[in-house]
Each structure stands twice: as structure tokens, then as C-alpha cells.
Amino acid sequence: MSETDWKVFNPAGTRRVVVTKELPGGRWLELLTAAGCRVEVAQGREVLGETGVRRALGSQVDAVIGQLTEQWSEPLLRSLREAGGAIYSQYAVGFDNVDVEAATGLGLPVGNTPGVLTETTAELAVALTFAAARRIAEGDRLTRSGAYRGWLPDLLLGSLLHRGTVGVIGAGRIGTAYARMMVEGHKMDLVYYDRHGNEELERYIAEYAGFLSARGEEPVQCRRAASLGDLLGSADVVSIHATLTDETHHLIGAGELGQMKDDAVLVNASRGPLLDEAALVQHCRSHPAFRAGLDVYEREPTLAAGLEELDNVVLVPHLGSATTWTREGMATLASANVVAVLNGWPVWPAAEDVEAVLPFLDAPDPPHAAPSIVNADELGLARWTG
């Protein structure tokens, strides 16, 4: 590998770990070097294509920490395994870019970084919600352009969300966190759509409703939608938090957009292909009161034609997990997965929330375990018992 494109840490290390992007913080690197790893880190800003990744793997490698922007298909995973790779550790919680089934067939553990992204990503979805509803980006552009001439009664009128209805598609960890933020912070009723009921979320909202009633305030409501259309037609805000699968590709298209309120707000901080961007462009052009906030894109970083021209869409560059604490925590968890697998340590119990992974982030001597291996059960890996 070219010395101008890669930086090597602990060159005398006996285990070779390739990291396909420079990661924030320092704890992740300390964990790897303390475990006797030679760490080779790509310095470029561009996404490594399959050829670049294969070149980086070389003929011998023990582990890779990769990115969600890379496509880890069966041939590439096989190349990693044949070069001696013991684990592919993803610097992300999502792993739809990884053929996990193929990895399992090759006996290759796949790591990810849950727990630390939940509130951070939910906060970004909330920020997009209000940026779109209150036309923040439009106001910023107007002010910077010099066109602002003073307060006007009808200047950039937006939507009041307080006591409205928020619709959440996918009530997993991030969807649940977003729902709670919107309900608790703005007393919105909640309708959610998920293949599985979220009894804990429903119980929490019911308890919050009881708190409001005890204070003499109108209680909030929570219900699980019978269908996606039911949610779309009743919500003032729709936030997408579904998992990307073949079935959920273009979950929201022209037909679904047409079922939403004309002045609704649509937010996607999950996965770009869940939303048909071309359909969104057409819908926003014909429904100027409709607004959207996007953090992810179908063909990232390329935008659908015309999307960037729309004033009623807020666009940010995949910032869902972009806080210093979260991104450094992700790096630590990704490295801890590598160290654990290389040392033959067990897998930590499922990380349902941030408290579950704090021992890896804060403790001077983190647990001798892998924080999260998505195919641990399929591979028959031992679980931590304390």
C-alpha cells in the first residue's frame, strides 16, 4: 500500500488490522495496539471500492474495520477470509451493506456498534423535523442572501407541531427514542407502524399520559396503526425508522406520499432507499406546503434530479450519528469487537441501550468480550456470563 494513502500504527504488531477510514478519538487505536495489532489506516476521503479494499487486504490480514459506504459482498468477504481474516467489524450499527449470510457461511463474525447511536440519531431526526416544519433552512438562506428586510406577518409561515400527531414507521430503538422525544417534548399523539407491537413504548406513553392527566392537562394518545396507510393519513409528521430489506425498498413512494396530508412533514434519517426520491421530488413540486427533511439518500452521495432545487426539503449529509461522543464511541466498539474475536473472548449480551455498552466506553479496563457480533448465535459463539 502507498505510504501517502495509509498511516501505520504499531508497525511491529503481530496482528494486521486494516481500517478503511480514519476514525475519531484515540481509545479505539489504544485498544488495538495494546492487543499487539499493527494498524493500517486509510487516509483518503473517498470511498474505497472493491478493488481498493482487495488491495488493502493483501495476502494476509487478521481483521478489518470497514464502513457502511462499502459493499461487503460474498466475494469480498471470501477474500478477507482467505487472507486469514478472523472478523469484519462495521463502523456502524446498520449492516445492510454486508452479506451477513455469506459471512456466516464462511465462518466470519460480523461486528457492529449498537447502543451509542440511538439518542444521537433520534435527536438528528427531531432536528430535521423542526427544521422542515419551521422552514429553518429557507430562513437561513434568505437571511444570508441579504433579502431579509425585517419582520413581516406572513414571512415563511411554517407548521405548529405542538399537540399534533407524530407517525413513526419502525418502532425499534431509534424510532422509539424519536417517538418519546416528540411525545414528551411537544405533547404529540403517537401512531406507529411496525410488524411487531412495542408494548414497552405503549406502556411508557400511557404512563406519561397519566402524568399529564394528574396535572390537569389533556393526555396524549398512542396506538399501533393497522396499516401503513392508516398512519400516513393521520399523521402531521411521519418519520421513517424502518430496516432496509428487499420488502421495504421504496416503502414510501408516490402512492404513499399521496396518502399523506398536504402540509405534512416527512423525515428520513434511516436508510435512503426506503424512500423513492424521484417520487418525493414530484410530490414536493406539486404540494408546496408539504415539507421533508433528509439525512440519507438512495444513491448516496448522489441526489435525485431536482431534489437540491426544492425549498421545501431540508438536506443534510448523513449526520445521524455525527456527535463527537457517538462517533468516538462507535470507533471504540468496532475495535473492541476486533480485539475480542482475535483473543477468542465471548460476546457481550445484546446491547439494547447505551447503558449496555458503557463499560466498553468508560472503564479503564473494558470487559474481555465483543460488544456486538450480529451473527454470534449462527456461528455458535460463546456469550459472556460475567
By three-state DSSP, how is residue 293 classified? strand
| Percent of the residues in the chain that have a pLDDT greater than 90, as a whole number | 93
Answer yes or no: are the C-beta atoms of 183 and 169 closer than 8 Å.
no
Q: What is the pLDDT of residue 364?
A: 84
The answer, yes or no, to whether residue 4 has pLDDT greater than 70, is: no
Q: What is the pLDDT of residue 97?
A: 94
Answer yes or no: are the C-beta atoms of 334 and 65 closer than 8 Å.
yes
Answer yes or no: are the C-beta atoms of 237 and 166 closer than 8 Å.
yes
Q: How confident is the model at residue 386 (pLDDT cuts 50, 70, 90)?
A: confident
Write down the catalytic residue from 300, 368, 378, 383. 300
Interval 246-302: pLDDT, tens: 999 999 999 999 999 999 999 999 999 999 999 999 999 999 999 999 999 999 999
Categorise residue 135: left if φ over 0, alpha if ψ from -120 to 50, beta otherwise: left
Quick one: 6-116+323-379 is in which CATH superfamily? NAD(P)-binding Rossmann-like Domain (3.40.50.720)
Interval 184-242: pLDDT, tens: 999 999 999 999 999 999 999 999 999 999 999 999 999 999 999 999 999 999 999 99
Q: What is the pLDDT of residue 1?
A: 47
Q: What is the pLDDT of residue 131?
A: 98
Any catalytic annotation for residue 271? yes
Any catalytic annotation for residue 250? no
Q: Specify the domain boundaries for CATH 3.40.50.720 within the chain.
A: 6-116+323-379, 118-315
Answer yes or no: are the C-beta atoms of 251 and 242 closer than 8 Å.
yes
In CATH terms, is domain 118-315 a member of 3.40.50.720? yes
Cα–Cα distance between 10 and 38 in angstroms, integer?
5
Least confident of 32-41, 43-52, 115-124: 43-52
Q: How confident is the model at residue 341 (pLDDT cuts 50, 70, 90)?
A: very high
Cα of 374 vs its chain's centroid, Å = 16
Between 155 and 44, the more confident residue is 155
Interval 8-25: pLDDT, tens: 999 999 999 999 999 999
Its pTM stands at: 0.92
Q: What is the pLDDT of residue 194?
A: 97
The answer, yes or no, to whether residue 356 has pLDDT greater than 90, is: no
Interval 149-183: pLDDT, tens: 999 999 999 999 999 999 999 999 999 999 999 99
Q: What is the pLDDT of residue 219?
A: 98
Cell of 166: 407524530
Write down the catalytic residue from 241, 271, 283, 327. 271
HSE, side-chain direction, 13 A CA sphere, residue 168: 31
Interval 289-333: pLDDT, tens: 999 999 999 999 999 999 999 999 999 999 999 999 999 999 999
Q: What is the pLDDT of residue 3?
A: 43
Write down the catalytic residue from 318, 368, 378, 383. 318
What residue spans of the chain are helical by DSSP H? 27-34, 50-57, 74-82, 100-105, 118-133, 136-145, 173-186, 199-214, 228-234, 254-259, 277-286, 324-343, 354-362, 376-379
The answer, yes or no, to whether residue 82 has pLDDT greater than 70, is: yes
